[in-house]
Structure 1
Amino acid sequence: MSPAAHHRARRVLVLGGGLSGTLAAAALAPHCDSVVIVERYTLPDAPVPRRGLPQARHAHMLWSGGADAIESLLPGTTALWTGAGARRISLPNGMVSLSPGGWYRRCWPEVQYLVSAGRDLIDWGIRTRLLEDPKVTVVPGTETLRLLGTATRITGAAVRRPDGTTEDLEADLVVDATGRGSRATRWLAALGVAEVPETVIDAGVTYASRRYRAPRVPEDWPVINVQADSRLPVPGKAATILPIEGSQWLVSVSGTRGGEPGGDEERFAEFTEQLRSPLIAQYLARAEPLGPVTVTRTTANRRRHFEKVRMPDGFLAIGDAATSLNPVYGHGMSVAAQSARALRDLAAQRDITAPGFARRAQRAIGRPAAAAWMLGADQDILFPGAEGRRPTLADRLAGRYVHRLIRTACSDLTVVRALTDVMTLQRGAGALARPGVLLAAARGPRLPALEGPALTPGEERVRDAPGRDTAYGSEAVPRH
């Protein structure tokens, strides 16, 4: 009998068809016979809004660490994005940013990059490339009810079809990618699995976003970002202008507990006047608002420590279902992508049905999330009114070192490179402790702090224009 006759089809069931779910499917498809994605809503075949993704209305930065991981999983995705109007923005020179340590200079060579686009476009590009694989099937309009199996092994999930009927879907591996609202810990508890511990750090961040028609601007328009400073004894307020497809700006503002923005359209721009710099308010005065303000308050950092429990074989959680992050740091998509890549790499080494595979995979996909947690949640606990564990002496000392790095980065390429590599998730936090970086931090800034943002003549011209100028769409203003 041939080896093929002994082959047993391996089936993966992915719960959730969002970004994390589609990337998990891309990771596992080469290592199984079929992947079924169960999605509660209908997924559009165009880059348009969909139900179940309210955060799509807010600014999303896809850092190079995430974009590279996606490209390795689904080659050609970047070309789909840029062909549809997404922007590849060079870092650090393509970002005008006021950090807690001052304005960053823009005279450096490219260190990393980010992809700037609406979330609907990013998801569409990933979904389009994934569904070219005949192994992958999406079951839309279907709700997951519970997991099947025992505390030793998960064997599938019970689902409710659009017509109200229920069905048991069997699988060798079930991946929970249902996001922040995941019910997996309850489903597992019902099967006798021990309680999964959680860590929550909540700075009370409220997010508000609005789209604008951009004024006539240079083609290589930068991301503009004013950050909050956790050292100040006041609520942190921040804002970002993200240039996206369709000659639009996606503008998100955020405030920690006690300084939250509201959904009032008249007060949206006023909030930007309360930032540490008036730059974003000045630019919004030149742009035309498009549509209402969208507000989100579900922004707490939450880690479900599946790795600390004796988990059953055949189940793992990925993306926000495992670790959800404060979106102000822009790491959610990149963490999901790097987690999926880690899952793919492990599946290339071990059979996905092998005992212990899921537990090893859970640890592997947790490493990128842990790195992003350190960058975001460990800063959030320093804001006034933050809820969760209180900052320790080690936290405060680390915060002081990071601030010194940020201040030094305003005039030192060595530190700029290290911080950018870590922020984009291309390197771990250990890069901040390399000898050259430690020496630069000890030496401190090499140049005086900039008195204002490092703008090009074209960017200054837009800022200083007497009123709105949106009649020219994406026509470029020559750079000098």
Structure 2
Amino acid sequence: MTTPDSSNRRIMVLGGGLAGTLAAAALAPHCDEVVIVERHVLPAGPQPRRGLPQSRHAHMLWSGGADAVEYLLPGTISRWLSAGGHRIPLPTGMVSLSPGGWFRRWRASHYLITASRDVIDWGIRAGLEGDAKVRFVRGEPTRLLGDCTRITGAVIRRPGDIVENLHADLVIDAMGRASRTTTWLEELGVPAVPESVIDAGVTYASRRYQAPPGTPESWPVVHIQADPRRRSPGRVASILPIEGGQWLVSLSGTRGGEPTSDSTAYEAYAAQARSPLVAEFLARAEPLGPVTVTRTTANRRRHFEKLGRRMPSGVIAIGDAATALNPVYGHGMATAAQGARALADLAARTGDISSPRFARLAQRAIGRPAAAAWILATGQDIFFPESRGKRPNLIDHLTSAYIRRLIHTATGDLTATDALTDVMSLQASVGALAHPAVLLAALRGPQLPALTGPPLTPAEERVLRAPQRSALYQG
């Protein structure tokens, strides 16, 4: 490993959310100072923060992402759990209806973290506390400094309308879907960054519930998936256990079948999913607030790496600023975390984050885990009716047919289940699904008969047998 050379080097991170904080953690050992520029005041604890409307929706962090966070900021998983988050074993702790049928709850091989987004972000921010190299600056970036060959910083509008030119050896764009970096680069004479967009028109509607009395502490994730091959809008319903004995419930629908913010229609919409299981559980839980809706869910990938040497050095995009994914697959946080770990590994190998080549190498490294998540998301979304963007070609149809066969096989075959879970948790590349043992399993098909209903434990079934809540609380 190359010894880090950090003489007089500053890194600027634009955005103080999850992706920006993890990028700062990744590169702090390789510079003198990391400046995180954030528009809003960040809370000291696990409270809501401005500028993160998606925080009210369900979030899960697959083990591939959680492992990356723990690598960058040891002790983070313990902080999440101590604040009431859950470590869900997979596939043991998931009740999931796939397009191929109900999955069995085999022995645990992977895991995911479920908690409110406030707890997840706080756990990561707390990991940076005490790092003397990292400081937060409140302000809003308005443009980049430099030229078409090298970026040297950004113009920041501080509170009180004070404008400051802040210089840095490396600028990291972690401003999410709202990033304007591509526009700012074009203003400096950089060619337009190619983009790929696949938009199934997904609308999300989320609400918190108090779990019914007697609900077991080890509550599973309940996930009713859509089937993109049906010639009707896809509807998804999910329950995630979070802190405080609460459930965070997210319902989503593709274009033509979207949920609304109408609280009186919320559970009726859940009942329209491919199984009414989520609606049946909600009828026994108490709603804790209004329904929150978001429509910003398109898969959008900015291909900075395709500019090659035409891309100026000194600037990198990470997280949603580079690859934004449909949240239904739960891969956004994991790909941001794996991208940050890729930054850390590259900086450790090269030892010089200010070299002209570093940004180009880093953008490619960040893109690798994002590419796997992109394939998983768009390989489904491209087939929904009314999906916009690229239309499926022959390769897409053949790939989809194989994945569909593998999902069907996984309903009754452990080899297929392990392979799919390995890829979905982002602990293996999509190429792992072409391993000879997996191909043989798909050819052979499921070894066990299909389940006729959800694989609930006796304790979970007792919740369904409990009385439905009083009409006083409905809606």
Decide: shared fold, TM above 0.5: yes
Q: In the alignment, does 2:329 pair up with 1:332? A: no
Q: Summarize the Cα distance change of 1:43–1:195 in structure 2 as closer, same or farther, 3 Å threshold.
A: same
Are the aligned partners of 2:42 and 2:49 in contact in 1 as well (CA < 8 Å)? yes
Distance across 2 between alignment mates of 1:220 and 1:460: 14
- Are 2:151 and 1:147 equivalent residues in the alignment? no
1:322: which partner in 2?
322
2:85 maps to what in 1? 86
Structure 1 spans left out of the alignment, 5+ residues: 1-5, 470-480
Q: CA deviation at 1:467?
A: 2.2
- TM normalised by structure 2 equals 0.96
- Asked if structure 1 preserves the Cα contact closer than 8 Å seen for 2:94 and 2:222, the reply is yes
Contact preservation (8 Å) 2:154, 2:165: yes
Deviation at 1:7, TM superposition (A): 7.4
Question: Which whole-Å deviations, capped at 9, do the CAs of 1:161-215 have from their partners, x for residues lacking one?
Answer: 1111100001000000000010001111111111111110000000000000111
Q: Contact 1:157 / 1:170 at 8 angstroms: preserved in 2?
A: yes
Aligned residue identity for 2:117 = R
2:367 aligned with 1:366: yes
Partner SS, residue 246 of structure 1? helix
Q: What residue number does 1:37 align with?
A: 36
Which residue of structure 2 aligns with residue 250 of structure 1? 248
2:455 maps to 1:457? no
Aligned 8 A contact 1:131 1:137 in 2:
no
Task: Supply the distance in 2 between the matched residues of 1:311 and 1:396 (Cα, whole angstroms).
Answer: 34
Residue type of the alignment partner of 1:271: Y
What is the match of residue 97 of structure 2? Answer: 98
Structure 2 CA distance, aligned partners of 1:278 and 1:387? 29
Deviations 1:75-106 (A, max 9, x none): 00001000110000000010000000000111
Provide the rounded CA distance (Å) in 2 between the counterparts of 1:179 and 1:7: 28
Q: Distance in 2 between matches of 1:96 and 1:198?
A: 36
User: Stretches of 4+ moved more than 4 A in 1?
Assistant: none
Tell me the TM-score normalised to structure 1 length.
Answer: 0.95
Kindly tell me: are residues 286 and 9 of structure 1, through their superposed partners in 2, closer, same or farther at Cα, counting changes over 3 Å?
same
Structure 2 counterpart of 1:110: 108
1:154, 1:255 → 2: CA distance? 41
CA distance in 2, matches of 1:243, 1:278: 18
Q: Distance in 2 between matches of 1:468 and 1:411?
A: 36
Q: 1:164 matched to which residue of 2?
A: 161
Distance in 1 between residues matched to 2:274 and 2:379, nearest whole Å: 22
Residue 6 of structure 2 contacts residue 30 of structure 2 at CA under 8 Å; is this kept in 1?
Answer: no
What does residue range 63-462 of structure 1 map to in structure 2 within 5 Å? 63-106=62-105, 108-140=106-138, 142-216=139-213, 217-309=215-307, 310-350=310-350, 351-462=352-463
Distance 1:109 1:381 in 2: 32
How many Å separate the matches in 2 of 1:276 and 1:263? 21
- Partner Cα separation in structure 1 for residue 149 and residue 398 of structure 2: 43
Q: 2:7·2:31 contact (CA, 8 Å) conserved in 1?
A: no
Pairwise CA RMSD of aligned residues? 1.2
Partner of 1:475: none
CA drift at 1:131: 2.5
Instruction: Measure, in 2, the Cα distance between the counterparts of 1:230 and 1:8.
Output: 53
Whole-angstrom distance in 2 between the partners of 1:374 and 1:463: 36
Q: Match for 1:119: what amino acid?
A: R
Partner SS for 1:374: helix
CA distance in 1, matches of 2:390, 2:356: 35
Distance 2:276 2:291 in 1: 20
Measured against aligned partners, the alpha-carbon deviations of 1:113-134 in whole angstroms (never above 9, x if no partner) come to: 0001001100000001112211
Code of the aligned partner of 1:82? L
